[in-house]
Amino acid sequence: MATRIQFENNCEVGVFSKLTNAYCLVAIGGSENFYSVFESELADVIPVVKTSIGGTRIIGRLCAGNKNGLLLPHTTTDQELQHLRNSLPDHVVVQRIEERLSALGNCISCNDHVALTHPDLDRETEELIADVLGVEVFRQTVAGNILVGSYCAFSNRGGLVHPHTSVEDLDELSTLLQVPLVAGTVNRGSEVIAAGMTVNDWTAFCGSDTTATELSVIESVFKLREAQPSSIVDEMRKSLIDTYGQPTTFYDLLPQLFMSIMNLYPLLTGNVI
């Protein structure tokens, strides 16, 4: 279900929040309205954490994460790091990395299996991403823009990219990410997708300028209409609990994850598995 929301009268909600399948980070605002919307949607399901990174409120663009981990830039203070380690669930690995490109949210766009990164990212950072987030990393550009974290937003079920992406690029990205992709806009024709909205597998939050058409496109590509949060989270929990008895490797979890994805993957882009 997609919700329209504003942070202190600003429609760029992807700048001030970070939403994943396991947790949600929210910036500290003057009034509690922003936080309360997230809380009303997500409180029973995942923890909603209020934080700042490096003293700033633009947390959505500075950090990158999925259900497995969270990467923070070198500007994060120790107190913030500690606060996040305390507030987030234990299975989420919180790691601060030394990287020249410190706006990690603009450079890395990821879901629980695949990540797209800025082509100029360091080799060590790429390895760290693969380790901490547990994803396969691809260096890519979106519609000729190198800031892939800003111009595309994708979850495990679908993705939305910059409107000027050509058909060939869309096919290529879709093959890499293994999710259906659509070129579209958010916030009444804004091309900066990830700054205008934030999304996970069952819910999305968009800026209040988003038109009905854009909202319907978002709901259809991210499959938000029939999504039940609890079932997805329970499935994930079950897979995790199963493996407490045995050493967990990525390849053990792979069939279950693959099955859940297979059920939800339409043939929109013509990519047949």
Strands 181-183 and 2-5: unpaired
Based on the shown chain and the rule CB under 8 A, indicate whether residue 89 belongs to the binding site for another protein.
no
Residue (80 or 214) nearer to another protein, CB: 214
Site stretch for another protein (CB under 8 A), options 20-28, 107-115, 208-216, 226-234 = 208-216
Structure-token pair, residue 197: 């909205």
Q: How far apart are CA 112 and CA 70, in angstroms?
A: 12
Q: How far apart are CA 176 and CA 155, in angstroms?
A: 14
For residue 39, how far is the Cα from the chain centroid? 18
Residue (168 or 226) nearer to another protein, CB: 168
Residue 214 beta carbon to another protein: minimum distance, rounded to whole angstroms: 5
Residue 5 beta carbon to another protein: minimum distance, rounded to whole angstroms: 18
Residue (6 or 211) nearer to another protein, CB: 211
Burial level of 37, CB count in 10 A (0-12/13-18/19+)? buried
Residue (167 or 272) nearer to another protein, CB: 167
Give the C-alpha distances (Å, rounded to integers) separating 18 from 44, 69, 105, 204, 268: 17, 13, 9, 11, 28
Burial level of 89, CB count in 10 A (0-12/13-18/19+)? exposed
Based on the shown chain and the rule CB under 8 A, indicate whether residue 214 belongs to the binding site for another protein.
yes
Residue (212 or 272) nearer to another protein, CB: 212
End-to-end CA distance of the chain: 28
Site stretch for another protein (CB under 8 A), options 48-56, 128-136, 150-158, 210-218 = 210-218
Measure the CA dihedral 160/139/132/51, to 10°: -50
Residue 211 beta carbon to another protein: minimum distance, rounded to whole angstroms: 5
Residue (22 or 217) nearer to another protein, CB: 217
Q: How far apart are CA 87 and CA 15, in angstroms?
A: 21
Please tell me the count of residues contacting another protein according to CB under 8 A: 21
Residue 139 beta carbon to another protein: minimum distance, rounded to whole angstroms: 17
Structure-token pair, residue 185: 């806009």
Residue 176 beta carbon to another protein: minimum distance, rounded to whole angstroms: 16
Q: What residues from 135 to 194 belong to the interface with another protein (CB under 8 A)?
A: 163-170, 183-185, 188-191
Based on the shown chain and the rule CB under 8 A, indicate whether residue 273 belongs to the binding site for another protein.
no
DSSP symbols for 189-258: TBS-HHHHEEE-SS-EEEETT--HHHHHHHHHHTT-SS--HHHHHHHHHHHHHHTTSS---HHHHHHHHH
Residue (185 or 203) nearer to another protein, CB: 185
Residue 217 beta carbon to another protein: minimum distance, rounded to whole angstroms: 6
Enumerate binding residues for another protein (CB under 8 A).
163-170, 183-185, 188-191, 211-214, 216-217
